[in-house]
Amino acid sequence: MPQRSMREQIVEAAIEQFHERGFNGAGVKDITDAAGVPKGSLYNHFDSKELLAVEAMRRYGASRRLEELARGPGAPLERLRQHFEFLRDEAVGYDLRRGCLLGNFGAEVADHNEQIRAVVGAGFTRWRDTIANVLRQAQAEGTVRAESDADTMAGFVLGAWEGALIVTRSRRTDEPLQAFFAIVFDQLLH
Amino acid sequence: MPQRSMREQIVEAAIEQFHERGFNGAGVKDITDAAGVPKGSLYNHFDSKELLAVEAMRRYGASRRLEELARGPGAPLERLRQHFEFLRDEAVGYDLRRGCLLGNFGAEVADHNEQIRAVVGAGFTRWRDTIANVLRQAQAEGTVRAESDADTMAGFVLGAWEGALIVTRSRRTDEPLQAFFAIVFDQLLH
């Protein structure tokens, strides 16, 4: 079905372009050029660039392996480490560029586009909740201290990850990612 | 000296506009309108929007109170807490909007503008180094454990702050800022 395929191509290209250039920096023509489709075709599939960004975030979120984090095999703390190792390897694979699409949109357009802000915010909340559940499982089996509030810790770890990506990208060194693993897994969650 | 005054007005307006709209979202006309000066006058003072952004970051960095953090009165750990309380109160004063200008530029344009990336990266490095020195002072007086590597911890804390701001802004709740203080000052640095 070529109709569906063109939509797919546009969404895939949008994820790349938004990631690399930002919401305002990635023009409709950048996206359709990258998708190899005529410029006007974007609006046959999406009423606005905002709605395309929302779909890009949905697709990006689905690739974050939150299901494996929540329910995959392995001990809870090991799953959490593997989750962030997967994200780190992805960042390293892109030469420490790009950052996280949610964080990028959050930093660039959250204040000026309520539609995008709401989707970014919901994405962060879902992610935080998934991490918190894993921490509660780890607390139940005694691998994380029971006194720590799992929601607070999960929110902190998520923020620390998002910030580490931004500093890594700006300083062009993986030091902040290394510091994330050293502090979170060797000091905080022990 | 009206010449100097117009430059000041442009830089002040640029800090506001870049903060609120991002680098690509803040047009030259947005900035000159906010400054109350003719559009063409910007290029009498800055050769490019990039150079204006560099000057905006320099000015923004100078307002971060790094001098007080490094050398101000008070015990090292107390100075560190006051530093982040100052930044938190500023964020709360802006209704949790705006984030950090360095982090915003890092997330939006680091990959596509080497000039801006280098200034953001240097700003983060200087900030990290200042925090690390304070942590070493705290270690020397025994208020922070001596086993922790001060550079690693400082880089981690800086990233955690930047990420907390982005999640706070996207979720429109100060929970991530509260989590930052709870974890950093009650669990990590004790």
Q: What percent of chain A has pLDDT over 90?
A: 93
Indicate if the pLDDT at residue A3 is higher than 60.
no
- Annotate A37-69 with DSSP letters as a single string: S-GGGHHHH-SSHHHHHHHHHHHHHHTS-HHHH
Residues A51 and A95 in one domain: no
Residues A140 and A170 in one domain: yes
Q: Considering A58, A83, A104, which residue would you say is the last residue of a domain? A: A58
Indicate if the pLDDT at residue A8 is higher than 60.
yes
Tens digit of each residue's pLDDT (9 = 90 or more) over B114-131? 999 999 999 999 999 999
Q: What percent of chain B has pLDDT over 70?
A: 98
φ and ψ at B149, to 5 degrees?
-80, 120
Q: Give the pLDDT of residue B2.
A: 52
Distance of CA B50 to the CA centre of its chain: 18
Indicate if the pLDDT at residue B4 is higher than 90.
no
Residues A93 and A128 in one domain: yes
CATH number at residue A49: 1.10.10.60
Collect contacts of A179-186 with beta carbons under 8 A, ≥24 apart: A179/B152, A179/B153, A179/B155, A179/B156, A179/B159, A180/A84, A180/B156, A180/B159, A181/A81, A181/A84, A181/A88, A182/B149, A182/B152, A182/B156, A183/B152, A183/B153, A183/B156, A183/B188, A184/A84, A184/A157, A184/A160, A185/A77, A185/A81
Tens digit of each residue's pLDDT (9 = 90 or more) over B50-97? 999 999 999 999 999 999 999 989 999 999 999 999 999 999 999 999
Per-residue pLDDT band at A2 (split at 50, 70, 90): low
Residues A52 and A97 in one domain: no
Residues B48 and B137 in one domain: no
CATH number at residue B104: 1.10.357.10
Residues A7 and A100 in one domain: no
Q: Considering A58, A77, A98, which residue would you say is the last residue of a domain? A: A58
- Which helix (H) or strand (E) covers residue A118, if one does? helix A114-140
Residues A92 and A41 in one domain: no
Helix residue ranges per DSSP H, chain B: 2-21, 28-35, 42-45, 49-62, 66-71, 76-93, 101-109, 114-140, 150-171, 175-183
Q: Which of A98, A105, A175 sits opposite B111 (nearest CB)?
A: A98
Query: Which residues from chain B sit within 8 angstroms of residue A57, using beta carbons?
Result: none
Top residue of B21, B167, B174 to mutate, by most chain A CBs within 10 Å, is B167
| pTM (2 d.p.) | 0.96
Distance of CA A78 to the CA centre of its chain: 20
Indicate if the pLDDT at residue A30 is higher than 70.
yes
Residue B30's nearest CA partner among B20, B17, B19, B40 is: B17
Put simply, whether B169 touches A (Cβ < 8 Å) is: yes
Tens digit of each residue's pLDDT (9 = 90 or more) over A76-90? 999 999 999 999 999
Q: Considering A58, A78, A100, which residue would you say is the last residue of a domain? A: A58
Residues B85 and B173 in one domain: yes
**Cα–Cα distance, B124 to B132 (Å, whole number):** 12
- Domain range for B29: 2-58
This complex has an ipTM of 0.95
Residues A86 and A111 in one domain: yes
Q: Which of A24, A162, A182 sits opposite B166 (nearest CB)?
A: A162
**Cα–Cα distance, A123 to A94 (Å, whole number):** 22
Indicate if the pLDDT at residue B3 is higher than 70.
no
Top residue of B171, B177, B185, B188 to mutate, by most chain A CBs within 10 Å, is B171
Interval A52-58 mean pLDDT = 97
Give yes or no for a contact between B56 and B14, defined as CB atoms under 8 angstroms apart.
yes
Indicate if the pLDDT at residue B36 is higher than 60.
yes
Residues A77 and A169 in one domain: yes
Q: Indicate left, alpha or beta for B100 from its phi (over 0: left) and psi (-120 to 50: alpha).
A: beta
Give the count of domains, chain B.
2
Rounded to whole angstroms, what are the CA distances from B120 to A166, A167, A171, B16, B111? 10, 9, 8, 17, 11
Indicate if the pLDDT at residue A4 is higher than 70.
no
Residues A137 and A169 in one domain: yes
Query: Which residues from chain B sit within 8 angstroms of residue A159, using beta carbons?
Result: 160, 163-164, 166-167, 176, 179-180
φ and ψ at B122, to 5 degrees?
-65, -35
Residue A177's nearest CA partner among B153, B156, B120, B164 is: B156
Structure-block tokens of residue B105: 């530029």
Residues A79 and A150 in one domain: yes
B95 burial (CB, 10 Å; 0-12 / 13-18 / 19+) is exposed
